[in-house]
Amino acid sequence: MQLTQGAHPVTRFRRLRRTAALRNLVQETTLTTGDLIWPVFLCDGVNQRQPVVSMPGVERRSLDLVVEAAAEAAALGIPAICLFPYTDPSLKTATCEEAWNPENLTNRAIRAIKAQVPDIAVMTDVALDPYNAHGHDGLVVDGIILNDETVVALVKMALAQADAGADILGPSDMMDGRIGAMRSALESAGHKDVAILSYAAKYASAFYGPFRDAVGASGALKGDKKTYQMNPANSDEAIRLVARDLAEGADMVMVKPGMPYLDICHRVKETFGAPTFAYQVSGEYAMIQAAAQNGWIDGEKAMVESLMAFKRAGCDGILTYYAPAVARLLRG
Ligand code: PBG
């Protein structure tokens, strides 16, 4: 990098900004459909679409429509889809056994997508919150979120998803030791090629609110997730978490939320050079959509700018609810 620059008028930065052709020629970062992972919400039934009110433009889909959505995503060149189930309150227990039921909504959806849209990669969420009467990502006893007991449950959940055909497991729970436990269980079970995208640096964030509505976890959750998700004030800790998860067998790592944590994305990529993803979470999406609906910002431009920023920060890809919309735009 040339760190000194000639003085004006030897340098005129505007020379290369004069026309679209010149601007394109020197553009440093690109956003492509290959950078996208599309998170989708599942619900029971047939031919069901339920709008998520706090995420304008996002809906829960029944299994048949999720298969259609996966086919549409594959046709748009989106490489991966990530499944999040809305779980009926009657299936939520304190012991969370629905999480590793081979016939739960997620596992049925994985099989259906792999059978009918074999080319798209299917990613899952590994965490107990959709199935937990307490709404937490881990097992709760006397108000304490248990770590090691939760890891045992998460391993069962991960194996059920791998058996169903998942390509990428996404542990979003932030328990300690879960990556190593999952990796060794996958090896023993013959699932040596199942990838893990660890939610390694996941912050205790206010930006998850709309998601908790979408999966029906808002009602169950009491309190916050600060004993397992990260303090938003911390940065070195994110580096230590990523180092730990890579050492335990994560193939890829994630920073979450995205836009308020671009400094973390940059540090993680610079430090490890590992495949690094950001999750543009529900609250980030909701803010852009709400402002756009009010005519306060240009929604399409804000979408592209927000996603490009992740690439510029060093991310290899982005989980975003905008995946189909931005893919359509990129394909003209
Ligand atoms: C929970 C989970 C959350 C998200 C993904 N998995 C919410 C939480 O931790 O409470 C958030 C995604 C989003 O806000 O878009 N395991």
Is 14 a domain residue? no
pLDDT over threshold 80, residue 1: no
Which residue segment(s) compose the domain that 305 sits in? 31-330
Identify whether 101 is part of a domain. Answer: yes
Say if ligand 1 is within 6 A of residue 245 CB.
Answer: no
pLDDT for residue 156:
98
* Residues tagged active-site: 202, 256
What is the count of structural domains for the chain? 1
Instruction: Say if 7 falls within a structural domain.
Output: no
Over residues 141-188, the pLDDT tens digits come to 999 999 999 999 999 999 999 999 999 999 999 999 999 999 999 999
| Whole-number Å distance between alpha carbons of 128 and 100 | 10
Provide the pLDDT for residue 216.
Answer: 83
Which of 123, 208, 280 has most ligand 1 atoms within 8 Å of CB, for mutation?
208
Distance 209 CA to ligand 1 centre (A): 8
Asked if residue 144 belongs to a domain, the reply is yes
pLDDT band of residue 249 (cuts 50, 70, 90) is very high
Residue 283 in any domain: the answer is yes
**Per-residue pLDDT at 2 exceeds 80:** no
CATH assignment at residue 272: 3.20.20.70
Q: Is residue 17 part of a domain?
A: no
Q: 10-40: per-residue pLDDT in tens?
A: 999 999 999 999 999 999 999 999 999 999 9
Determine if ligand 1 sits within 6 Å of the CB of residue 107: no
- Give the atom of ligand 1 at the shortest distance from the alpha carbon of 210: 14
Secondary structure (3-state) at 102: coil
Q: What's the pLDDT at 62?
A: 98
What's the pLDDT tens digit per position in 266-321?
A: 999 999 999 999 999 999 999 999 999 999 999 999 999 999 999 999 999 999 99
Is it the case that residue 256 has pLDDT exceeding 80? Answer: yes
pLDDT of amino acid 262:
98
Q: Where are the alpha helices (DSSP H) in 233-318?
A: 236-248, 262-272, 282-293, 299-313
State in Å: Cα 211 to ligand 1 middle: 6
In a domain, 215, yes or no: yes
**Cβ of 281 less than 6 Å from ligand 1:** yes
Domain membership of residue 320 (yes or no) is: yes
Written as one string, the DSSP assignment of 120-182 is SEEEEEE-SGGGBTT-SSS-EETTEE-SHHHHHHHHHHHHHHHHHT-SEEEE-S--TTHHHHH
Q: Tokens standing for 96?
A: 């969370």
CA 281 to chain centre: 7
If one residue of 128, 129, 322 were mutated to test the ligand 1 pocket, choosing by the most ligand atoms within 8 A of its CB, it would be 129
Share of the chain above pLDDT 70, in %: 100
pTM of the model: 0.97
